[in-house]
Structure 1
Amino acid sequence: MTNPNLRWIPLLAITLIVTALAPTLLWMRESPLLALALFERESYNLEISYQITVLLLVLIVIAIVAVMTGKAGLSYLNLRNRDGRICPEPWIGLKPSASDTWNNVGRNMAIVITSVTAVVIYFQVIRGESIHVDLFPGLALIVVFALMNAFSEEIIFRFSFVAVVHRFGYSPYVGQGLAAATFGIVHYFGTPGGIPGVLMAAYIGWLLAKSMFETKGFFWALTIHFLQDVVIFFALLMK
């Protein structure tokens, strides 16, 4: 689409797609389209059924973005791009020094965000409950589920906006704002949930979209989200 007067159409389209997918994911978690029975524990079967179904949707989202943006958009799926200059945003706690880049700040943010997530999850999910650690296949499945979930949600709620915003010349703040709003709202019904879940997810949505814009890659978004999900799935599946 070369007409600059029509560049709002792809942005509107991807916003509507993501907005429609958000409640669909909530519905699918309660009523997965697949009914796999691979494990003795039903919670594992429900999760793998959900994750595989969502991955199929993610492939469709990637295909749609590819049609809209071509190679320019798909380049943001690069996992090798880990570094880049950080534009300061003091209001979200990003006040980098002159020597700071995503290489070190991304690592620090991963530690901080994972730690905060662990605290919130303790009070929302674990507090007062007993933990029963299932070494196999439980711990292995937690890693697999966390990776699948992080990848899927980063594609839907981050990559989709970042690629389209970049391709059609919008400010990165548009992509970051849309990523924060959609990811935050859907987490009212997620884990962590409620108002704390909305605020945390909106912050993560903004930050990880920012990481993608500034590194021109997928690494920190996927890594930080994956570490969060390891904590969340451990709490949900081991209690």
Structure 2
Amino acid sequence: MVIDPSNSSRKPIIFTAWIFLLLASSIPMIILREIFHKNVPADLQSVMAAILILTGLVLTFTCNAVRSLRPFFILFLFLTGIEWFVYTKVDQLPFYQTWLKNPSFNIFMPAEQSLRLMVTLGIIAVLFLLKKSRAAFFLVKGDTSAPAEPVRWLGVQQGDRWNKIGRNFAVILSLGTLAFLVIAGRPPLDIALRAVPFIPAILISAALNAFNEEIIYKASFLSTLEEVVGKQQALLLMAAYFGIGHFYGVPYGVIGVLMAGFLGWFLGKSMLETRGLWWAWLIHFVQDVLIFSFLAIGSIIPGGG
């Protein structure tokens, strides 16, 4: 049963989820860096986020009104802890430093994705403990032809199904991504030839990155929030966190946040309505193939550099 988020009794839950999610996101660090020109070490960022999330978790034991958020805070705390361990300890191992500092896309990108896969596997373990079944956190293909809820401004009509919407939007979003990359990156005319030596690494890295991000930042959040705050609020919370996390990605800045946030919302919608990962992963994979192709030849640089 999905709880109606419009119910006034759910307002404290929704408010609490938003406050803690935004404060524990990258927003404070982005403000410090962009406005005050202060860089906060990764260790300190993780500690600050963990303290905030732990405070939220304690609140679920002391305040009955937000008790149902406990699985979400447990997941969020584990996510922060796993990311801290992987990105401040594991990635500092000598062999990882050698790989990550290698200028070849064929080496550093698969190395980056192997680190993210460690986080993904940790989150899957936590989700199994919380949800008991992989279907409960969308780690299944799902019904790829499930009916979609209408969204007028997107052109999704009553009766449309995901086997049609998924294909159409995979093409539309890919063309939009490609147009942005061409305008922003101004690639050489022989881009396709230059990318050929990197094709295996591009495909493997794109497949891993799409899987990792769909599990870490979408399936996990949606599976612990949907029944607590309702489908729409769960989608918005997930999309906000996913979008904010791309501020220093490709594309960079507010545009990157909005684009990633929309993509997160749309792919999360597919996940909730098909009850599976297929369309979310596939659409994300195609976008990453394009982005990683431009990264491989050095036409674009993450973080606006």
> TM-score interval w.r.t. the shorter chain?
0.7 to 0.9
2:72 match: secondary structure: helix
Deviation per CA, 1:131-174, whole angstroms, max 9, x where unpaired?
Answer: 352423x11211111001111111111110122124x4431123
Is 1:76 the equivalent of 2:133?
no
2:68 match = 7
Contact 2:148 2:158 (C-alpha < 8 Å) held by counterparts: no
Following the alignment from structure 1 to structure 2, what is the Cα–Cα distance between the partners of residues 232 and 134?
12
- For 1:46-195, what aligned pairs fall within 5 Å after superposition? 46-71=108-133, 74=136, 76-90=138-152, 93-124=153-184, 126-127=185-186, 131=191, 133-136=194-197, 138-166=198-226, 168-195=227-254
* 1:235 positional shift: 0.3
- For 1:7-26, what aligned pairs fall within 5 Å after superposition? 7-18=68-79
| Identity among equivalent pairs (%) | 30
Following the alignment from structure 1 to structure 2, what is the Cα–Cα distance between the partners of residues 219 and 190?
24
* 1:106 positional shift: 1.2
- Amino acid of the structure 2 residue aligned with 1:68: L
Following the alignment from structure 2 to structure 1, what is the Cα–Cα distance between the partners of residues 214 and 250?
16
- For 1:211-230, what aligned pairs fall within 5 Å after superposition? 211-230=270-289
> 5+ unaligned residues in a row in structure 1: which ranges?
none
Contact 1:188 1:198 (C-alpha < 8 Å) held by counterparts: yes
Give me the TM-score of the superposition, normalised by structure 1: 0.83
1:189 match: secondary structure: coil
**Cα distance change of structure 1 residues 42 and 72 upon mapping to structure 2, 3 Å threshold:** closer
* 1:186 positional shift: 1.2
Return structure 1 stretches of 4+ with deviation > 3 angstroms. 15-25, 72-75, 128-132
Give me the TM-score of the superposition, normalised by structure 2: 0.66
Is 1:201 the equivalent of 2:260?
yes
**Cα distance change of structure 1 residues 22 and 184 upon mapping to structure 2, 3 Å threshold:** farther
1:232 match = 291
* 1:127 positional shift: 1.2
Contact 1:162 1:175 (C-alpha < 8 Å) held by counterparts: yes
Contact 1:36 1:48 (C-alpha < 8 Å) held by counterparts: no
Contact 2:143 2:275 (C-alpha < 8 Å) held by counterparts: yes
1:83 match: secondary structure: coil
**Cα distance change of structure 1 residues 235 and 75 upon mapping to structure 2, 3 Å threshold:** same
> 5+ unaligned residues in a row in structure 2: which ranges?
1-63, 299-305
Following the alignment from structure 1 to structure 2, what is the Cα–Cα distance between the partners of residues 178 and 36?
37
Please tell me the root mean square deviation across aligned C-alpha atoms, in Å. Answer: 2.9
- The structure showing larger relative contact order (alpha-carbon pairs under 8 Å, at least 6 residues apart) is 1
Q: Which structure has the greater CA radius of gyration? A: 2
* 1:42 positional shift: 2.6
